[in-house]
Amino acid sequence: MSGLLAGLEDRIAGVRELYEDLHRNPELSFQEQRTAGVLAQRLRTAGYEVTGGVGGTGVVGVLRNGDGPGVLLRADMDALPVREVDQVPYRSTAVGVDADGNESPVMHACGHDAHMAALIGAAEQLAARRDAWSGTVLAVCQPAEEVGGGARAMIDDGFLDRFPAFDVALGQHIASAPSTHLYVRPGVFMAAADSLQVTVHGRGGHGAQPQATVDPIVIASSIVLRLQTVVAREISPEDVAVVTVAAVHAGGKENVIPTTAELKLNVRTFDPEVRETVLAAIGRIVRHEAAAAGAPREPDIEPINSFPLLVNDVDAARRVSDAFAGEFGEDVVHTPQAKAGSEDFGAFGTAAGVPSVFWNFGGFDPALYADPARPNAAVAAGKAPGNHSPEFVPTGLEPTLLRASSALVTAAALWLG
């Protein structure tokens, strides 16, 4: 590994410049045109065969270096509709228009800019040290992870037929955790997620004559409260599920009872049977609460997006964890609990029928975290920013980017001949 990693530290200043540019210029899901162009150019300059427009805005760089296994390295590109606080000189002031036509500020509030920068750092290092390995590297810049559609869009666009076969898929995600620390979990690592939109239909009218209406706001309120019983009363204490209603929209004037009310909700599960139980319970509760209130028609329940369960191959994840411990020290490598967050990265390995491994790397001041093995405690206590926060901007950038780039190279080396 010393030969393969030699010189990587010298290129991190350039990787940081790329990171700051990407952070300053975020783009929403499936709109990553500028981002894709920047990454494609860096990969071409490094010697990769580059294809753009895969699955919409995806970029794939292929580096062939003799006989040997194929390794897929993936980073996601999209940002979030979040207004960044003013805390760094390269903060985002970008504005975008979301899929619903709403204008909003845009920020890399989940650290995808760090993922992209680290991928380029690793890709450039592998290209520069072709004497130290053999095989094929696929550098995949994926759109639209935040909406759960990017990996599937690339696969549906013929990814497996258009590009060389690969023997393992590797990916990583920055976490609110101490910089330079790594978190690898064999088996189930991240939850499946299902987002739904529920439209409740009532009968509108004057607020002074509620008896002449069927109030969809009251029905929606009953649904929200009743949904809180699904996990508490229909799921075993031995299992885990999360049901969140995060958006409620209805009406526009204080004395007009509206015709409809809209709910947006999210479900997280770690077991396919639990998922089916929760989704069935949601459908039953939504329909029956509306029927009990005399709604003129059944509510509409429509999917918004869906993320698969992310499962790391057990043997491959252990190999990666052991390699990290050997290269960076056992004290910075941890086995975390399964996370309720979700990812669509696993779709690549599943589609190809090969192992995949996904891990987290820390990106913040170690002084914020009393226990590096349990970094979520600092987030829950308000001592450190969590993903999707307007304050989620990594600190100690160069050590963080060096560790993330080195981790990708170290993991890839386990397969590259």
String of DSSP letters for 372-415: TT-THHHHHTTSSPPTT-TT---SSHHHHHHHHHHHHHHHHHTT
Please give the average per-residue pLDDT across 330-348, as a whole number: 97
Q: Do residue 16 and residue 123 come from a single domain?
A: yes
Which burial class, exposed, middle or buried, applies to 255 when counting CB atoms under 10 A from its CB (0-12, 13-18, 19+)? Answer: exposed
Annotated binding residue 173: yes
| Catalytic residue list contains 67 | no
pLDDT band at 124 (very low <50, low <70, confident <90, very high): very high
Annotated binding residue 146: yes
Residue 150 pLDDT > 70:
yes
Q: Is the overall model pTM greater than 0.95, yes or no?
A: no
Q: What pLDDT, on the 0 to 100 scale, is given for residue 100?
A: 83
Q: Do residue 280 and residue 147 come from a single domain?
A: no
Q: What pLDDT, on the 0 to 100 scale, is given for residue 1?
A: 65
Annotated binding residue 181: no
Q: What pLDDT, on the 0 to 100 scale, is given for residue 3?
A: 85
Residue 2 pLDDT > 70:
no
What number of other Cβ atoms are within 10 A of residue 356's Cβ? 24
Please give the average per-residue pLDDT across 205-214, as a whole number: 97
Please give the average per-residue pLDDT across 77-105, as a whole number: 95
Distance CA 90, CA 16 (A): 11
Which two tokens mark 179? 């910089």
pLDDT band at 24 (very low <50, low <70, confident <90, very high): very high
Last residue within a domain, chosen from 277, 306, 335: 306
Catalytic hit among 124, 145, 194, 215: 145
Q: What pLDDT, on the 0 to 100 scale, is given for residue 417?
A: 75
| Catalytic residue list contains 365 | no
Distance CA 326, CA 311 (A): 24
Q: Do residue 153 and residue 285 come from a single domain?
A: no
Instruction: Compute the chain's Rg from CA coordinates.
Output: 23
Range of the domain at 273: 192-306
Cβ–Cβ under 8 Å, residues 40 and 32? no
Q: Do residue 185 and residue 233 come from a single domain?
A: no
Annotated binding residue 334: no
Residue 350 pLDDT > 80:
yes
Residue 228 pLDDT > 70:
yes
Q: Do residue 151 and residue 205 come from a single domain?
A: no
Last residue within a domain, chosen from 243, 272, 306: 306
Q: Do residue 251 and residue 150 come from a single domain?
A: no
Last residue within a domain, chosen from 258, 273, 306: 306
